[in-house]
Amino acid sequence: MKRLAVALPLLISAAAFADEGMWTFNNFPSDKVKAKYGFSPTPEWLDHVRLSSVRIAGGCSASVVSPDGLVMTNHHCSHECIEQLSTKKKDFIKDGFFAKATKDEVKCPDMEINQLVEISDVTKRVQDATKSTPVEKFNDVQKAELAAIEKECANGDDTLRCDVVTLYRGGRFDLYKYKRYQDVRLVFAPELAIAFFGGDPDNFNFPRYDLDVSFVRIYGKDGNPAKFDHYLKWSATGAKDGDLSFVSGNPGGTSRLLTQAQLEYDRDVKLPTALYRLSEWRGFLNQFARRSPEAERTSKKDLFYIENSLKAYKGRHAALADQKFFASRIAAEKDFRAKVEKDAKLKKDFGGAWDGIAGAMDKLRTYRKEYELERGPQAETFTWARQLVRWADESGKPNGERLKEYGESRLPQLKQGLFAKAPIYDEYETAKLAFSLDKLREELGADHPVVKKVYGNKSPLQLATELVKGTKLKDDKFRRELFEGGKAKIDASKDPLLVFARSFDPEARAARKRIEDEVDGAVKKNGELLAKAYFAVFGQGTYPDATFTLRLSYGKLAGWKEGDREIPALTNFAGAYDRHTGAEPFALPKTWLDAKTKVAAETPFDMVTTNDIIGGNSGSPVVNKEGEVIGLVFDGNLPSLGGDYGFDETSNRCVAVHSSALVEALDKVYGAKRIVEELKSGSAASGPKAGGK
Amino acid sequence: MKRLAVALPLLISAAAFADEGMWTFNNFPSDKVKAKYGFSPTPEWLDHVRLSSVRIAGGCSASVVSPDGLVMTNHHCSHECIEQLSTKKKDFIKDGFFAKATKDEVKCPDMEINQLVEISDVTKRVQDATKSTPVEKFNDVQKAELAAIEKECANGDDTLRCDVVTLYRGGRFDLYKYKRYQDVRLVFAPELAIAFFGGDPDNFNFPRYDLDVSFVRIYGKDGNPAKFDHYLKWSATGAKDGDLSFVSGNPGGTSRLLTQAQLEYDRDVKLPTALYRLSEWRGFLNQFARRSPEAERTSKKDLFYIENSLKAYKGRHAALADQKFFASRIAAEKDFRAKVEKDAKLKKDFGGAWDGIAGAMDKLRTYRKEYELERGPQAETFTWARQLVRWADESGKPNGERLKEYGESRLPQLKQGLFAKAPIYDEYETAKLAFSLDKLREELGADHPVVKKVYGNKSPLQLATELVKGTKLKDDKFRRELFEGGKAKIDASKDPLLVFARSFDPEARAARKRIEDEVDGAVKKNGELLAKAYFAVFGQGTYPDATFTLRLSYGKLAGWKEGDREIPALTNFAGAYDRHTGAEPFALPKTWLDAKTKVAAETPFDMVTTNDIIGGNSGSPVVNKEGEVIGLVFDGNLPSLGGDYGFDETSNRCVAVHSSALVEALDKVYGAKRIVEELKSGSAASGPKAGGK
């Protein structure tokens, strides 16, 4: 893997010339794009692309690709839905899924889609609210203000979702208003074997041959497909090497503005500990899956996510372990700090911010283990139990004082998760809970008072077995009853998992409160100071760290050089057949082997672009200057894994499925002509005029 | 876990007052002990303790405790032997083992014991040999000289083992001559449930209640118990809080002399990558064991070692992740470097050493992944295959040009491993090999030429299954035949595992050679320069980093403070019964439950001392000033895990079984009276007079 060896471009003037940046739609540098690529997106173009882009609340991006609410995203973004719809008898992960007609489309138990309809600036209101707030109250006061703004915005309307987004680590606060869709149905998914051809070994690699796509459809409250004025048309020809490309999606998060103390925490504590846990869980799952085909089926989704995270986190850690890169970050901070300290006013107002954050990181190192109580065991049934236990208490509090995730504006999402008709498999749920309980004891130590109180004389496996066996929370109707019965009903329940979650809730809340007050408060307060200092020194012509909100990046189709090796920008179908060995994960599914003579071997398959993206961008459309779909983002290359901390245009690449591969496969491999027609007719139908000037 | 927050004591004068140091027997600071504890070990005392201390070649320490070759070590040091002697029908790990009479003692298939009989200084000869050697030849030239010295020393005598030991990273070279014993028989082992009571959760913790002991006996070539003039007598009373304690054993390795570049490599690359691998393997084993009781039995030993290493490595990583500690190491290096640079002669001779090592570390970062080929799959059968393949080639080379482990003086150990009657269980061996092959592919990438060549169209599991099923190397007679048949016979064999090992041996050797020439050579050459500079600046009154050779440390029984909590120096039998929950790993075995009324509840169980120890010291005797056994080292406490990089007397503790616990349990729980008598009669019998002045 190549490493980032350049100074953080964001902080040096050369940034103007790189395809760097996950730009907000309301601060998009059309002039930069014009200067480099001769095309300047108009406000109408930006509005059209924004309104055609949607977000999957669970953590992905997507786009509307027909007026009838057809949505394109990755297979791995629908993996959970596909698995939840599968049964012991019918495994759609293995065999794929295709609804031959609209009536065959099946509701995903737990998928919510959001469409960003409005952005407004609430910076002054938020910053004024905390103006004279001491650091240890900062988090609470800010949280209350945000909750108030969000509540006013949604105003009790369940079809809206309102989030105040913290940009530039507190330098700006924007209110994002979304339309919320909770009836989303599965239309098409290929077999995992081709969606994820090459498996973990090829993940983040390129050249690549993955058809990582799925289609879902948004339905309205009336039970019919929802209508959309804005949707992306399909490019008739697709793109070729060198073509301009835009990616519109929701990058999950970046850390390009972190201070040295925060980077050291990531490098030395956060990433290693996350990687130990993920690695162990990966080994566990690999063997768990070998118990039986059913064990494999029910745990496969988690294994996929775990391996994906592992590789991504390893890349991030490697970026920070790179001495040159780390030194460049320290140098950039030193330079920034020197500029602030040179100016008496800036120094007085902002000079203490770095030490304030460093102090918070010291505390985090100390408080981290106890926070495992708040993180809690990672198992669906426990999550539900805790949500119910907490809802009993939070529902009685004023909106501003609630834990954030129980605020008025968050309730629709909370309820969707809690009421989801998601199947629970006892064997796997028990294994998962036991593993988590074992790790919890490991972090806290066998002599920790909570461990003694909660585990008693039981081993983690004994406890998990009892809890999963005894709980009725696996039944969605029971969960709904409890939730709707409110505090009285929940408090009265003796369900063993509720009893368990209740038994250490005060300690979990205390561990969280301590970090929110002493760590988060300091990071937020001082982050705001740093942002103001940054604007004062460098101006506002830059992009904020990613926040899983809609961003637009620009770039072009381009390969890169890996040592002496030239990596091309595109692969084709022939390459996929060449890479087929017959052994997983390099075994093409039967449909593909059967279709070998039917597909055009030279059809482009996957492609790489210079767009600056990161996890969360999965499922983003790649569009050309006409705003037409030319690809579907599903990955980054290995060098891009350090992209959390910095962008290097020479080697960071976005990996996408080429638009031609999608229609060729839908048509020739799967005979999914109705989707192909819908994509193409969408292109023919009238929609708001796209295109720039 | 508490962290080391003091400057490296080794490099500051206060070291004189701390119980720090793993001292060589030929440079033991008797004067320091006298000053602090009023007792000065005489040369006779030191000789007696040294000759009564033995080393288990596989990686542990031990002591001779009777004139008839009875050897005391940890249960976990004999774990492999106990497991190898077990069968599906009789599980000695679970049930324990006791040979009622001498004739019932059973040979451990693969245990070698070494007794250090002589140390001589060969520094001049070694350093002269490389005096004008360029850095890229340094490793080869030095290796040849060491091989020559070792060969001359053993002179073809298989009962001797000679190792040149590099001390002070090349400042001194001592030739260690050992008597080698390869007939070692199991005498006694308790159940794992008490040897490792509290399991991984309590590992490295204190208070503790483990009877981590086993007894083996050394047999001579005549098949009778070997006779020993030197052996440790048993203390009649044992030790109490505050008593002086010595630990004589073989600490495996420390890194207290590493430069900043090396520490950064450990922190950012070596430890994290080792931890990812171990974590994944741990998760894998935990689930593998659940396949069947047989799967659990055959994999349990590895799980134990993995979990132990994991916790130890996490502790080491945490020490380096501690910002204060790391800063103290950088400051110490800066100070040392400044002293060297202030003196023109020192600067000219040694000033470039730090950069030389930093350059080597840069290369190591680049070469590391390819070295996985040399590391090779971690499975017994592969190890044997590679040894045979290499022996075919190495046996024809002059001694000095061979790979180190095939040198004349190493052959007895090589043969013992290769000819061991160690059982191989296909199911587990296949799983292990498949896991390793998967990781190898992961590190190198699916497109690496060796992966393409070696794996072909097979998945790691398919390949491992074929190899384990097809190989005859599982049969020790077959391995012996091949070895004794030499190159012709080995080269002619079409055994699939030999073919496999052969198929990438050139690439593996090349990966190793590159690191030996470009990294090891530079580290050794520059390490020698740093050592000379260190002696010039600070003098020679210090101890070298641990090298898995015999060392003596001094200290006393003492608890410590953890935050506000006082941790006592001793636990007792009553505490073990209190900690029993009935659920693994806190379930006492039946023998102990049955003996509850027979044992004295106030008998001391485990204890902590201030002795400076580290992994490899497991099995070391703790002795009093009379040279009598007062304990058996089996662990360090959590704060001691950073001991690889520095020692902090306020909290680093050595954890041992109290001598009284051993005899009380042997007598009352196990009815092993013949061992108790042998231990006590040893004390009564005449031996060379011990004791100091």
The 10s digit of each residue's pLDDT in A457-492 is 999 999 999 999 999 999 999 999 999 999 999 999
Q: Which of left, alpha, beta for B242 (phi over 0: left; psi -120 to 50: alpha)?
A: left
Structure confidence by residue, pLDDT tens digits, A622-635: 999 999 999 999 99
Residues on chain B touching A459 (C-beta within 8 angstroms): 583-584
Is residue B538's pLDDT more than 60?
yes
Tell me, yes or no, if A2 comes closer than 8 A to chain B by beta carbon: no
Q: What's the confidence (pLDDT) of residue B122?
A: 98
Residue of B276, B288, B323 lying closest to A287 (CB–CB): B288
CB B254 within 8 A of CB B652: no
Q: What's the confidence (pLDDT) of residue B297?
A: 94
A567 SS3 class: strand
- Whether B446 sits inside 8 A of A314 (CB atoms) is no
- Whether A446 sits inside 8 A of B283 (CB atoms) is no
How close, in Å, is residue A427 to chain B by CA atoms? 13
Structure confidence by residue, pLDDT tens digits, B479-509: 999 999 999 999 999 999 999 999 999 999 9
- The β-bridge partners of B60 are B56
Q: What's the confidence (pLDDT) of residue A5?
A: 29
What residue of A is the nearest CA neighbor of B578?
Answer: A457
Helices assigned H by DSSP within A351-448: 353-367, 372-375, 380-394, 411-419, 426-444
**Cis ω for the linkage preceding B207 (within 30 of 0):** yes
When pLDDT is averaged across residues B316-330 and rounded to a whole number, the result is: 94
Phi, psi (deg, nearest 5) at residue A556: -150, 160
How close, in Å, is residue A678 to chain B by CA atoms? 38
Q: What's the confidence (pLDDT) of residue A18?
A: 81
B595/B586 Cα distance (integer angstroms): 17
CB B524 within 8 A of CB B357: no
CA-wise closest residue to A476 among A422, A425, A430: A422
Amino acid identity of residue B152, one-letter, is E
Residue of B272, B281, B583 lying closest to A272 (CB–CB): B272
Residues on chain B touching A277 (C-beta within 8 angstroms): 279
String of DSSP letters for A78-111: HHHHHHHH--SS--HHHH-EE-SSGGG-EE-TT-
CB A280 within 8 A of CB B283: yes
Other CB atoms within 10 Å distance of the CB of residue B491? 15
- Whether B457 sits inside 8 A of A279 (CB atoms) is no
A positions 393-432 inside 8 Å of B (CB): 431
What residue of B is the nearest CA neighbor of A456?
Answer: B581
Tell me, yes or no, if B583 comes closer than 8 A to chain A by beta carbon: yes
- Whether A272 sits inside 8 A of B317 (CB atoms) is yes
Q: How confident is the model at residue B13 (pLDDT cuts 50, 70, 90)?
A: very low
**Helix or strand run (H / E) with residue B166:** strand B160-167
Residues ≥6 apart with Cβ < 8 Å to A582: B457
Amino acid identity of residue A652, one-letter, is N
- The β-bridge partners of A609 are A557, A654
How close, in Å, is residue B637 to chain A by CA atoms? 13
What residue of B is the nearest CA neighbor of A638?
Answer: B445
* Mutation site, B286, B462, B466, interface A, largest A CB count within 10 A: B286
Structure tokens at B304: 């134990």
Residue where the block lists tokens 């030095």: B142
Residues on chain A touching B317 (C-beta within 8 angstroms): 272
Residue of B320, B446, B458 lying closest to A201 (CB–CB): B446
CA-wise closest residue to A604 among A209, A202, A63, A198: A209
**Helix or strand run (H / E) with residue A510:** helix A505-515
String of DSSP letters for B211-257: ---EEEEEB-TTSSBPP-S--PPBPSS---TT-EEEEEE------TT
Structure tokens at A527: 């982050």
Structure confidence by residue, pLDDT tens digits, A488-532: 999 999 999 999 999 999 999 999 999 999 999 999 999 999 999
Is residue B7's pLDDT more than 80?
no
Is residue B61's pLDDT more than 70?
yes
- Whether A282 sits inside 8 A of B283 (CB atoms) is yes
- Whether B275 sits inside 8 A of A276 (CB atoms) is yes
Q: How confident is the model at residue B94 (pLDDT cuts 50, 70, 90)?
A: very high
When pLDDT is averaged across residues A380-405 and rounded to a whole number, the result is: 97
What residue of B is the nearest CA neighbor of A458?
Answer: B583
**Cis ω for the linkage preceding A225 (within 30 of 0):** no
How close, in Å, is residue B233 to chain A by CA atoms? 37
A74/A620 Cα distance (integer angstroms): 8
When pLDDT is averaged across residues B270-280 and rounded to a whole number, the result is: 97
Residues on chain A touching B275 (C-beta within 8 angstroms): 272, 275-276, 279
A319 SS3 class: helix
CA B649, B655, B661, B666 dihedral sign is negative
Strands A629-636 and A60-64: unpaired
Tell me, yes or no, if B143 comes closer than 8 A to chain A by beta carbon: no
When pLDDT is averaged across residues B361-376 and rounded to a whole number, the result is: 96
**Cis ω for the linkage preceding B589 (within 30 of 0):** no
CA-wise closest residue to B166 among B646, B524, B410, B535: B524
CB B689 within 8 A of CB B626: no
Residues on chain A touching B320 (C-beta within 8 angstroms): 268
**Cis ω for the linkage preceding B272 (within 30 of 0):** no
Which domains are assigned to chain B?
11-112+182-256+544-682 (2.40.10.120), 260-538 (no CATH)
Residues on chain B touching A310 (C-beta within 8 angstroms): 276
- Whether B280 sits inside 8 A of A282 (CB atoms) is yes
- Whether A269 sits inside 8 A of B462 (CB atoms) is no
When pLDDT is averaged across residues B41-47 and rounded to a whole number, the result is: 97
Is residue B581's pLDDT more than 90?
yes
B597 SS3 class: coil
Phi, psi (deg, nearest 5) at residue A175: -95, 120
When pLDDT is averaged across residues B67-73 and rounded to a whole number, the result is: 97
- The β-bridge partners of A163 are A176
B256/B270 Cα distance (integer angstroms): 16
Q: How confident is the model at residue B386 (pLDDT cuts 50, 70, 90)?
A: very high
Residue where the block lists tokens 């070759």: B69
Q: Which of A227-231, A686-690, B473-477 has the lowest mean pLDDT?
A: A686-690
Q: How confident is the model at residue A28 (pLDDT cuts 50, 70, 90)?
A: very high
- Whether A281 sits inside 8 A of B282 (CB atoms) is no
Phi, psi (deg, nearest 5) at residue A154: -75, -35
B56/B58 Cα distance (integer angstroms): 5
Tell me, yes or no, if A456 comes closer than 8 A to chain B by beta carbon: yes
Residues on chain A touching B441 (C-beta within 8 angstroms): 201
Tell me, yes or no, if A5 comes closer than 8 A to chain B by beta carbon: no
Structure confidence by residue, pLDDT tens digits, A278-325: 999 999 999 999 999 999 999 999 999 999 999 999 999 999 999 999
Amino acid identity of residue B467, one-letter, is L
Q: What's the confidence (pLDDT) of residue B541?
A: 87
Tell me, yes or no, if A283 comes closer than 8 A to chain B by beta carbon: yes
Residues on chain A touching B459 (C-beta within 8 angstroms): 583-585
Residues on chain B touching A198 (C-beta within 8 angstroms): 446
When pLDDT is averaged across residues A428-449 and rounded to a whole number, the result is: 96
The size of chain A, in residues, is 693
Other CB atoms within 10 Å distance of the CB of residue A119? 17
Structure confidence by residue, pLDDT tens digits, B556-572: 999 999 888 999 999 99
ipTM: 0.91
E strand segments, A190-242: 214-219
Listed as own residue / partner, the contacts of A8-14 with beta carbons closer than 8 Å and 24 or more positions apart are A8/A256, A8/A328, A8/A329, A8/A332, A8/A645, A8/A646, A9/A646, A9/A647, A9/A648, A9/A649, A10/A256, A10/A257, A10/A542, A10/A646, A10/A647, A11/A332, A11/A335, A11/A336, A11/A538, A12/A332
B651/B3 Cα distance (integer angstroms): 9
When pLDDT is averaged across residues B665-681 and rounded to a whole number, the result is: 96
* Mutation site, A259, A279, A316, interface B, largest B CB count within 10 A: A279
Is residue A14's pLDDT more than 80?
no
B513 SS3 class: helix
- Whether A284 sits inside 8 A of B284 (CB atoms) is yes
Q: Alpha carbon B562 to chain centroid distance?
A: 28
How close, in Å, is residue A63 to chain B by CA atoms? 33
Radius of gyration of chain A (CA): 25
A426/B169 Cα distance (integer angstroms): 56
Structure confidence by residue, pLDDT tens digits, B213-244: 999 999 999 999 999 999 999 999 999 999 99
**Helix or strand run (H / E) with residue B677:** helix B673-684
A258 SS3 class: coil
B77 SS3 class: helix
How close, in Å, is residue A662 to chain B by CA atoms? 25
Residues on chain B touching A287 (C-beta within 8 angstroms): 283-288, 290, 431
Structure confidence by residue, pLDDT tens digits, B446-487: 999 999 999 999 999 999 999 999 999 999 999 999 999 999
Tell me, yes or no, if B314 comes closer than 8 A to chain A by beta carbon: yes
CB A403 within 8 A of CB A394: yes
How close, in Å, is residue B301 to chain A by CA atoms? 17
When pLDDT is averaged across residues A442-460 and rounded to a whole number, the result is: 94
How close, in Å, is residue B348 to chain A by CA atoms? 27
Residues on chain A touching B276 (C-beta within 8 angstroms): 275-276, 279, 310, 314
Tell me, yes or no, if B288 comes closer than 8 A to chain A by beta carbon: yes
Is residue B210's pLDDT more than 80?
yes
CA-wise closest residue to B212 among B658, B559, B612: B658
Tell me, yes or no, if A363 comes closer than 8 A to chain B by beta carbon: no
Radius of gyration of chain B (CA): 25
Residue of B283, B320, B447 lying closest to A283 (CB–CB): B283
What residue of A is the nearest CA neighbor of B198?
Answer: A446
Burial of B463 per CB tally in 10 Å (0-12, 13-18, 19+): buried
A positions 317-356 inside 8 Å of B (CB): 317, 320-321, 323
Q: What's the confidence (pLDDT) of residue A4?
A: 29
**Helix or strand run (H / E) with residue B173:** strand B172-181
Q: Which of left, alpha, beta for B190 (phi over 0: left; psi -120 to 50: alpha)?
A: beta
Is residue B12's pLDDT more than 60?
no
Listed as own residue / partner, the contacts of A98-103 with beta carbons closer than 8 Å and 24 or more positions apart are A98/A187, A98/A188, A98/A189, A98/A670, A98/A672, A99/A185, A99/A186, A99/A187, A99/A188, A100/A674, A101/A674, A102/A217, A102/A225
CB B633 within 8 A of CB B619: yes
CB B331 within 8 A of CB B7: yes
Residues on chain A touching B288 (C-beta within 8 angstroms): 287
Tell me, yes or no, if A288 comes closer than 8 A to chain B by beta carbon: yes
How close, in Å, is residue B589 to chain A by CA atoms? 16
CB A583 within 8 A of CB A634: no
